[in-house]
Amino acid sequence: MWHHQKKIRAYLYQGLLDSIQAGEQNGDAVRKRKSFPLPEIDKQHEMTNDLPREIIEETSIEVDPEDTSLHKNLNTEQRMAYDEILATVDRQRGGIFFVDGPGGTGKTFLYRALLATVRGQGKIVVATATSGVVASIMPGGRTAHSRFKIPLKIDDGAICSFTKQSGTAKLLQAASLIIWDEASMTKRQTVEALDKSVRDIMDRPDLPFGGRTVVFGGDFRQVLPVVRKGTRAQIVDASLRRSELWDCMRQLKLVRNMRAQNDPWFAEYLLRIGNGTEETNDDGEILLPRSICVANKTDDNGLDRLIDSIYQTGNASLIKDPRYITSRAILSTRNDCVDKINLKMIDRFQGEEMVYHSFDSVEDDPHNYYPPEYLNTLTPNGLPPHMLKLKINCPIILLRNIDPANGLCNGTRLVVRGFQKNAIDAEIVVRQHSGMRVFLPRIPLCPSDDDMFPFSFKRKQFPIRLSFAMTINKSQGQTIPNVGVYLPEPVFSHGQLYVALSRATATSNIKVLTGTHDENKQKNKKTTTCDTYTKGEKNMKSTTSGTYTKNIVYTEVLTK
Ligand SMILES: Nc1ncnc2c1ncn2[C@@H]1O[C@H](COP(=O)(O)OP(=O)(O)OP(=O)(O)O)[C@@H](O)[C@H]1O
């Protein structure tokens, strides 16, 4: 992981142009920026022998030697899925699959094995995922939205915005295999848009996905598509399971939790949480295993205790080790909780500090109804904070696709190595591009959801956040060997509790802090719950007290 040759790649150019165009015409600032060495613009990839950039990039992905032997380690169900998909790729007659497996059953592992094998045969594979985090786990992975040019606002009947002559169309025509992980998290209309567009570019309007081989995957126990202010019925209706395409997807089931394979009791417990079959009390809450709970006393230091159980902040050399820092995270439901933890952590972190403030503005606001002081208080989802406090060696996560082909996509994890006035020197610390040094620019950012505010909000800031803590939604798809879960308020959507708990590999490396100390709930509890624990878990006593928390499961989305 650490022996990749270090490269320096500058992303300043666009940032400089942006800031100059944005009218920041302070002569001094511009003069100083000019002193940065601008990189040569590399035009090599724009056109080579008329091959579109998309195909050149795809064919130049190096197969990770580690991944070429993954297929040898597949378990029985993974092996069956792998063989069936490879046989379909070989036959070249197309096929649509859905790899269905609970969290940790090795869906991404299977795709990595497939990617290595099919690319190793010199064929083209398009690897995508709904979230940037999971896309960055797969070599050459992109978010489905950016790869397939799916419109941000999507309704029934929508199509992708690439043309028949585009590089994207040529890539999809040339692909032997198309993978879309976490398809359970995306609205069915996005998959339907891809289907329509691929039928069109393949000139095969009657065949699903124009006769291509497409592998979808996901887990409907986990977070479902976001439907703003959506009712339960609307959210369920937006899921891929409710699409007419669902019936043409051959189901390939994975069943063995490989992530928690050393803790079978935990794996079973997780499955009951995900399926919504874990016993509940009269308030609909489930009992958490005592051993994973951080005591929530009235002294209000619960969060510090949770942090201490995940991060040894006192050990300066350990905390600066990227392997240490990326093998742990604290998860929470909301951005404000995540920001609170990140701020606590950065204060404890030792090292040279830098604070970058954003420039916030509203388009078309001549009367200044929205003063900067107000705008600075906003932290919409997916945007960096107004005040970005960083220290050398601290972990960060990228919030935008800056250069996906070179590993800089939404969800990439990096550590800060140096500060410039208008750039952050950072090092990628995960996967394929690990070890690569980059300069990140400030860029103008808008909330992805246009309806969030009654005005057009723009924030010019580095597109990053600290990543000591992250939202549960952002953690989906990751294995986090040491995970803390902070639930000052209960979860509020389907699958959130399951996603949070199922990032862990065993009860011994997860800690949960809930907001209410609820020993008094014992009087409501069904007595059967207690039996479940006395049989299974060493630390549970035959007492009815414990910590309860809400679990939301839309069971109707788990069955057709
Ligand atoms: N056959 C295998 N042999 C060894 N380790 C495996 C195997 N399959 C999966 N794993 C490991 O189990 C963990 C979970 O795998 P993976 O992330 O692929 O699961 P997933 O089904 O994609 O999970 P999620 O739905 O939570 O994203 C990873 O650490 C992975 O390396």
Q: How confident is the model at residue 531 (pLDDT cuts 50, 70, 90)?
A: very low
> What pLDDT digit, counting tens, does each position of 40-91 carry?
544 444 445 678 888 988 888 888 888 999 999 999 999 999 999 999 999 9
* CA separation for the pair 342, 373 (Å, rounded): 22
104 lines ligand 1 (CB under 6 A): yes
Closest residue (by CA) to atom 13 of ligand 1? Answer: 259
Asked whether the predicted pLDDT for residue 530 surpasses 70, the reply is no
Domain count, the chain: 4
Residue at 22 is within a domain: yes
**Are residues 504 and 383 part of one domain?**
no
390 burial via Cβ count (<10 Å: 0-12, 13-18, 19+): buried
> What pLDDT digit, counting tens, does each position of 87-118 carry?
999 998 899 999 999 999 999 999 999 999 99
Q: Tell how far the Cα of 127 is from the centroid of ligand 1, in angstroms.
A: 17
Between vectors from CA 486 to CA 308 and to CA 281, what angle results, nearest 5°? 125
262 lines ligand 1 (CB under 6 A): no
End-to-end CA separation in angstroms for the chain: 42
This prediction's pTM: 0.83
Last residue of a domain, one of 414, 449, 469: 469
69 lines ligand 1 (CB under 6 A): no
* CA separation for the pair 33, 422 (Å, rounded): 8
Domain that holds residue 45: 2-50
**Are residues 270 and 174 part of one domain?**
no
The CATH number of whichever domain residue 222 belongs to comes to 3.40.50.300
Q: How confident is the model at residue 17 (pLDDT cuts 50, 70, 90)?
A: very low
> What pLDDT digit, counting tens, does each position of 111-160 carry?
999 999 999 999 999 999 998 888 888 888 888 998 999 988 888 888 99
Residue holding tokens 């300066």? 316
pLDDT at 253: 96
> What pLDDT digit, counting tens, does each position of 449-471 carry?
666 676 788 899 999 999 999 99
**Are residues 115 and 238 part of one domain?**
yes
- Are the C-beta atoms of 462 and 393 separated by less than 8 Å? no
Closest residue (by CA) to atom 9 of ligand 1? Answer: 106
How many Å is the Cα radius of gyration of the chain? 24
Q: For residue 416, what are the β-bridge partners?
A: 426
**Are residues 214 and 71 part of one domain?**
yes
pLDDT at 300: 65
Percent of the chain's residues with pLDDT above 90: 54
Q: How confident is the model at residue 527 (pLDDT cuts 50, 70, 90)?
A: very low
Q: How confident is the model at residue 7 (pLDDT cuts 50, 70, 90)?
A: very low
**Are residues 427 and 535 part of one domain?**
no
Q: Tell how far the Cα of 459 is from the centroid of ligand 1, in angstroms.
A: 37
Long-range pairs for 489-493 at CB < 8 Å and ≥24 separation? 489/333, 489/334, 489/515, 490/285, 490/514, 490/515, 490/549, 490/550, 491/333, 491/549, 491/550, 491/551, 491/552, 492/333, 492/552, 493/223, 493/224, 493/552
Altogether, the residues listed in the chain come to a count of 560
Average pLDDT estimate for 485-503: 94
Residue at 326 is within a domain: no
277 lines ligand 1 (CB under 6 A): no
pLDDT at 491: 92
* CA separation for the pair 39, 13 (Å, rounded): 7
Rounded (10°) CA dihedral 375, 381, 384, 385: 50
73 lines ligand 1 (CB under 6 A): yes
Residue at 521 is within a domain: yes
Closest residue (by CA) to atom 6 of ligand 1? Answer: 258
**Are residues 280 and 233 part of one domain?**
no
Which amino acid would we find at residue 185?
M
* CA separation for the pair 472, 485 (Å, rounded): 9
Q: Which two tokens stand for residue 517?
A: 């100390």
**Are residues 234 and 163 part of one domain?**
yes
pLDDT at 376: 87
184 lines ligand 1 (CB under 6 A): no
* Helix (H/G/I), strand (E/B), else coil: 391: strand
Residue at 317 is within a domain: no
Last residue of a domain, one of 203, 230, 253: 253
Residue at 499 is within a domain: yes
Closest residue (by CA) to atom 12 of ligand 1? Answer: 259
Q: Which two tokens stand for residue 250?
A: 């051959």
Q: Tell how far the Cα of 149 is from the centroid of ligand 1, in angstroms.
A: 28
> What pLDDT digit, counting tens, does each position of 355-380 carry?
999 998 888 777 777 788 888 888 87
**Are residues 486 and 447 part of one domain?**
no
Q: Tell how far the Cα of 349 is from the centroid of ligand 1, in angstroms.
A: 31
Q: Considering Cα of 475, then 479, then 480, then 482, what sign does the dihedral take?
A: positive
Q: Considering Cα of 282, then 288, then 291, then 296, what sign does the dihedral take?
A: negative
Average pLDDT estimate for 494-500: 95
**Are residues 214 and 104 part of one domain?**
yes
108 lines ligand 1 (CB under 6 A): yes
Q: How confident is the model at residue 31 (pLDDT cuts 50, 70, 90)?
A: very low
**Atom from ligand 1 closest to the CA of residue 219:** 25
Q: Which of 83, 128, 350 is nearest to 218 (CA)?
A: 128
> What stretches of 349-495 show up as alpha helix (H) in DSSP?
372-375, 472-475
Last residue of a domain, one of 232, 253, 274: 253
DSSP 549: E
**Atom from ligand 1 closest to the CA of residue 218:** 25
Q: How confident is the model at residue 559 (pLDDT cuts 50, 70, 90)?
A: confident
> What pLDDT digit, counting tens, does each position of 268-310 carry?
999 999 999 999 888 889 999 999 998 877 666 889 999 999 9
Helix axes 167-174, 188-201, angle to 10 degrees: 80
Q: Which of 70, 111, 185, 259 has most ligand 1 atoms within 8 Å of CB, for mutation? A: 259
Residue at 531 is within a domain: yes
**Are residues 237 and 88 part of one domain?**
yes
Instruction: Give the number of C-alpha atoms closer than 13 A to the C-alpha of residue 192, restricted to the C-beta side.
Output: 18
Residue at 57 is within a domain: no
* CA separation for the pair 480, 260 (Å, rounded): 11
Residue at 197 is within a domain: yes
Q: Which of 539, 469, 517 is nearest to 310 (CA)?
A: 469
**Are residues 464 and 483 part of one domain?**
no
pLDDT at 532: 37
**Are residues 157 and 104 part of one domain?**
yes
Q: Which of 134, 222, 258 has most ligand 1 atoms within 8 Å of CB, for mutation? A: 258
Residue holding tokens 């896309």? 135
pLDDT at 288: 93
pLDDT at 560: 59
What does the mean pLDDT of the chain come to? 83
3-state helix, strand and coil shares in percent for the chain, rounded to the nearest 5: 35, 20, 45
> Is the ipTM beyond the 0.85 threshold?
yes
Q: Which two tokens stand for residue 306?
A: 């949770």
